[in-house]
């Protein structure tokens, strides 16, 4: 018994002679407890770095990006443009290198743009559309595959529902009059069904003009910060000024699967500079290529 008492008093006295490490650990533990108490009572708050969050527009939000494709993309964020039509701008969707890559691939093969004849479903020349363009077949190389995968991720529409990318070039005076991307004939909906949405990627800035305009949108551009920079054509509706790397997504169909006439859109004439863009049309079903 006496031996047991002696041992326990030895243990006790060893505890009192704590090492400096034990003291530091105890102090840190006590400090953490105090901090946790202050945090839980709301007396203290942790600083949140909001440098990446755009500040000037209530609808803007940051969108996480993936690291595929070529080049470095600038700060990614999504802007809600309007609900009628349902349209969004994905800022810095493409890198400068990706824009240049698409132009380089397409440039040697550009031909006068055509429109689809709704009676026959065939392409025909038209004064409605005066740009030049060419199609890059779906999945043709690793960079195109990465861009098409990104489009699918951002739109939630599978890659297989998309047509090949169309690259467009507008010189001064060239334009695309307002039109719908959806079809009103049976012929053009045989493959993939109706076109549900369009992603328009701007591959270059345009010095003046060349805006994408929605003349039937529920509100026009007069309340937007860039209104004074718009051409006369751009002021006739809700407009987006082309900016290299940005992408405009708009829906030709409403969530109830009816056609949306407010998706009427066109490319304003370029007044100064050149406009390069790339369009991805997406269908409700798989589009066979």
Ligand X SMILES: O=C(O)CCC(=O)C(=O)O
Which residues form the interface with ligand X (CB under 6 A)? Answer: 168, 176, 181, 198, 200, 212, 265, 267, 277, 279
Nearer to ligand X, 159 or 197 (CB): 197
CB of 281 to ligand X, least distance (A): 7
Rounded Cα–Cα distance for residues 214 and 248 (Å): 12
Evaluate whether 29 touches 21 at the Cβ level (below 8 Å).
no
Nearer to ligand X, 69 or 266 (CB): 266
CB of 129 to ligand X, least distance (A): 8
Three-class secondary structure of residue 77 per DSSP: strand
CB proximity list for 239: less than 8 A, separation 6 or greater: 211, 212, 213, 214, 221, 224, 230, 268
CB neighbour burial string for 249-283, b if at least 16 within 10 angstroms, e if fewer: bbbbbeeeeeebebbbbbbbbbbebbbbbbbbbbb
CB of 233 to ligand X, least distance (A): 11
Nearer to ligand X, 66 or 123 (CB): 123
- Taking the CB of residue 152, how many other CB atoms lie within 10 A of it? 17
Q: Name the closest residue to ligand X (Cβ).
A: 267
Evaluate whether 179 touches 191 at the Cβ level (below 8 Å).
no
CB of 84 to ligand X, least distance (A): 18
CB of 279 to ligand X, least distance (A): 4
Rounded Cα–Cα distance for residues 114 and 122 (Å): 9
Nearer to ligand X, 65 or 194 (CB): 194
Nearer to ligand X, 65 or 82 (CB): 82
Nearer to ligand X, 68 or 227 (CB): 227
Rounded Cα–Cα distance for residues 86 and 160 (Å): 22
ω into 85 cis (within 30 of 0): yes
- Taking the CB of residue 208, how many other CB atoms lie within 10 A of it? 17
CB of 177 to ligand X, least distance (A): 9
Q: Which residue has the tokens 């102090």?
A: 27
Evaluate whether 231 touches 271 at the Cβ level (below 8 Å).
yes
CB of 47 to ligand X, least distance (A): 42
Nearer to ligand X, 181 or 260 (CB): 181
Nearer to ligand X, 78 or 113 (CB): 113
Three-class secondary structure of residue 228 per DSSP: helix
CB of 128 to ligand X, least distance (A): 10
């Amino acid at each position: 018994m006496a031996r047991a008492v002696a041992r326990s008093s030895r243990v006790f006295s060893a505890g009192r002679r704590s090492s400096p490490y034990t003291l530091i650990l105890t102090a840190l533990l006590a400090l953490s407890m105090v901090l946790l108490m202050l945090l839980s009572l709301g007396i203290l708050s942790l600083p949140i770095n909001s440098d990446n969050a755009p500040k000037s527009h209530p609808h803007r939000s940051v969108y996480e990006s993936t690291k595929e494709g070529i080049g470095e993309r600038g700060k990614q964020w999504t802007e809600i443009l309007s609900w009628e039509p349902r349209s969004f701008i994905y800022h810095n969707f493409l890198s400068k290198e990706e824009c240049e890559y698409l132009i380089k691939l397409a440039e040697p093969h550009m031909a006068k743009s055509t429109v689809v004849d709704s009676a026959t479903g065939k392409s025909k020349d038209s004064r409605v559309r005066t740009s030049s363009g060419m199609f890059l077949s779906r999945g043709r190389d690793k960079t195109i595959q990465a861009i098409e995968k990104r489009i699918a991720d951002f739109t939630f529409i599978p890659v297989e529902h998309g047509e090949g990318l169309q690259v467009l070039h507008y010189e001064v005076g060239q334009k695309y009059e307002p039109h719908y991307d959806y079809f009103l004939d049976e012929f053009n909906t045989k493959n993939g069904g109706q076109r549900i949405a369009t992603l328009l990627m701007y591959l270059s800035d345009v010095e003046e003009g060349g805006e994408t305009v929605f003349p039937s949108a529920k509100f026009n551009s007069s309340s937007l910060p860039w209104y004074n920079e718009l051409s006369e054509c751009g002021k006739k509706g809700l407009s987006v000024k082309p900016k290299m790397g940005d992408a405009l997504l708009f829906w030709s169909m409403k969530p109830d699967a009816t056609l949306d006439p407010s998706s009427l859109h066109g490319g304003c004439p370029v007044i100064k500079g050149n406009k390069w863009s790339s369009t991805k049309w997406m269908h409700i079903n798989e589009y066979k290529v």
